[in-house]
Amino acid sequence: MFVPIKKYNPGDGLFVQWILSCAILFCGIAVNAFMGFPQFQPLAMVGGALWAIGNLTSVPIINMIGLGMGILVWGTINCLVGWACGRFGLFGIHPTPPSSPFINYLGLAMVVAGGFLISQIRPTVSSDDEDGHGYPDVDEENGERRHLLDDNESSPVVSRSGSPIQTHNFKRSLGIGLSIVAGVLYGVTFVPVIYIQDHKEEFHNPPKEAIAYAFSHYCGIFVVSTISFVVYLAYTQNKPYVNKQAILPAFFAGLLWSIAQLSWFVANDALSQAVTFPIISMVPGVIAALWSVFYFKEIQGQRNLRILSIAITITLLGATLVGLSKG
């Protein structure tokens, strides 16, 4: 999802997230019409709202620790939380144990081990445009503020409070911390929908298929993103950071994500969270890491590449075992 956006400076990310949410809502409206306009479920909005709150941290995370590492760290936490909710029935949903618990646990352990290895990578976050993939300049025109990332914002700096290494380590730790928070929020995003499906008697005319809740879920994303953007407009006195070049890529990214999320709804119905989360939350991180190596050049050096290769192998094997555990 973030690949189309990363080439352009997203600034603080709030405008970009709002464009994402517009595309997501657009897809949700289309799906809602296709499904015959099922009953709207306000509780399903909560899952979308939690996802949107977590996604507000995505741009700072990517700026601090890079695309590949960011997605793999929050993907690992997402995997654990989502798996635990489905496996043990947290937050009032029914537990869905896999057919082969041992294989499921083994696969999960391998996925987590792969995520831990990823956290040992020292990424090279963007410092300038030498590789041709940095952020292009954005002119200040039509009332837009020029909020470009200075070299000092995207590379270690000497501050009064510490050395360049200390500053870099702080940004890395903060990025990992935010990734953990985002992962927890992502991990519970489906809980409201599954709760409705498991307790149909408590709700008015609830749909049977999970995909029928997509519109309600996507409305939660749009509402939180819009509220966040309005607060941001008030804070900046109606002078938001807007990179016009990022608008279409952000909309396209939103469409990509919304279509992928629809697939996840369907997969949850067919396989359960205990199986889908380890697979779907980690494989995108592997793909993002490959983008970070071959295109964005965020992960370099023999040590980093060696760790990444081992981590990807372990993660993919673990995801395969989790899939087989369904039986």
For the stretch 193-229, pLDDT in tens is 999 999 999 999 899 899 999 999 999 999 999 999 9
d(CA 162, CA 225): 35
The residue-averaged pLDDT of 118-138 equals 54
The residue-averaged pLDDT of 22-27 equals 97
Q: What is the pLDDT of residue 229?
A: 95
Q: Is pLDDT above 80 for 154?
A: no
In a domain, 4, yes or no: no
**Angle of CA points 126, 127, 133, to nearest 5°:** 50
Both tokens of 14, joined, read 């709030």
Q: Is pLDDT above 70 for 128?
A: no
In a domain, 144, yes or no: no
Q: Is pLDDT above 60 for 133?
A: no
Domain region containing 86: 9-127+159-324
Q: Is pLDDT above 80 for 149?
A: no
The distance of Cα 157 from the centroid of its chain, to the nearest Å, equals 28
Q: What is the pTM of this model?
A: 0.78
Bigger pLDDT: 272 vs 52 = 52
Q: Are 285 and 75 in contact (CB under 8 A)?
A: yes
Q: Which of 106, 71, 70 lies closest to 320, judged by CA?
A: 106
Q: Which of 81, 49, 320 lies closest to 181, judged by CA?
A: 81
The distance of Cα 80 from the centroid of its chain, to the nearest Å, equals 14
Q: What is the pLDDT of residue 38?
A: 93
Q: Is pLDDT above 50 for 125?
A: yes
**Which of 125-139, 155-169, 188-202 has the weakest average pLDDT?**
125-139
Rounded CA Rg of the chain: 20
**Which of 150-154, 173-177, 279-283, 304-308 has the weakest average pLDDT?**
150-154
In a domain, 139, yes or no: no
The residue-averaged pLDDT of 168-172 equals 82
Both tokens of 160, joined, read 């009064």
Q: What is the pLDDT of residue 1?
A: 59
In a domain, 165, yes or no: yes
Which residues share a beta bridge with 159? 162
Q: What is the pLDDT of residue 44?
A: 95
**Which of 16-20, 144-148, 195-199, 295-299 has the weakest average pLDDT?**
144-148
Q: What is the pLDDT of residue 266?
A: 92
d(CA 271, CA 289): 26
**Angle of CA points 266, 22, 251, to nearest 5°:** 90
The residue-averaged pLDDT of 156-184 equals 75
In a domain, 264, yes or no: yes
Q: How far apart are the first and last CA of the chain?
A: 31
d(CA 307, CA 290): 13
Q: What is the pLDDT of residue 58?
A: 86
Q: Is pLDDT above 80 for 56?
A: yes
Q: What is the DSSP letter of 159?
A: B
d(CA 196, CA 194): 5
**Which of 126-130, 148-152, 180-184, 232-236 has the weakest average pLDDT?**
148-152
What percent of the chain has a predicted confidence (pLDDT) above 70? 83
Please list the alpha-helical segments (H only) found in 120-205.
151-154, 164-187, 191-198
Calculate the average pLDDT of the chain: 82
Residue 83, phi then psi, degrees to nearest 5: -65, -45
Q: What is the pLDDT of residue 2?
A: 63
Q: Are 308 and 299 in contact (CB under 8 A)?
A: yes
Q: Are 84 and 254 in contact (CB under 8 A)?
A: no
Maximum distance among all alpha carbons in the chain? 61
> Structurally, how many domains does the chain consist of?
1
Q: What is the pLDDT of residue 192?
A: 95
Q: What is the pLDDT of residue 173?
A: 87
Q: Are 59 and 71 in contact (CB under 8 A)?
A: no
In a domain, 145, yes or no: no
Q: What is the DSSP letter of 145?
A: B
Bigger pLDDT: 91 vs 112 = 91
In a domain, 51, yes or no: yes
**Angle of CA points 137, 252, 132, to nearest 5°:** 35
Residue 158: band (very low, low, confident or very high) from pLDDT cuts 50, 70, 90: very low
How many CB atoms neighbour CB 173 within 10 A? Answer: 12
Q: Which of 173, 175, 119 lies closest to 304, judged by CA?
A: 119
**Angle of CA points 112, 115, 118, to nearest 5°:** 155
**Which of 121-125, 207-211, 319-323 has the weakest average pLDDT?**
121-125
How many CB atoms neighbour CB 90 within 10 A? Answer: 16
Q: What is the pLDDT of residue 254?
A: 93
In a domain, 197, yes or no: yes
Which residues share a beta bridge with 241? 145
